[in-house]
Structure 1
């Protein structure tokens, strides 16, 4: 997530936050196929919790 949405999400959830960390990982690995399971594992969350929090964070960022 580059651009305004990614910036807003990182700003809203702070540096070091799990969702911000996953967005940064996606940004650095945009040419690879990255799974939800991989991102969840990266930040120490279950797939279900990660999916819910990521969706909430990115939905809120798009509304900003």
Structure 2
């Protein structure tokens, strides 16, 4: 469940990045939509960091590597 949430948050960040680029390209800096896309991206990144921290603290995620069990 936690990995699905992380994947959805990463997808949301990428979508917001693409939307910000499209808004910047179309509006030529005359609109605030780029700033809203940036705010959305920052908010999603903060939520992603909180979710990863929660996963590490609760033990649902670990920091081991596949080649070093």
Q: TM-score, normalised by structure 2?
A: 0.37
Q: TM-score, normalised by structure 1?
A: 0.39
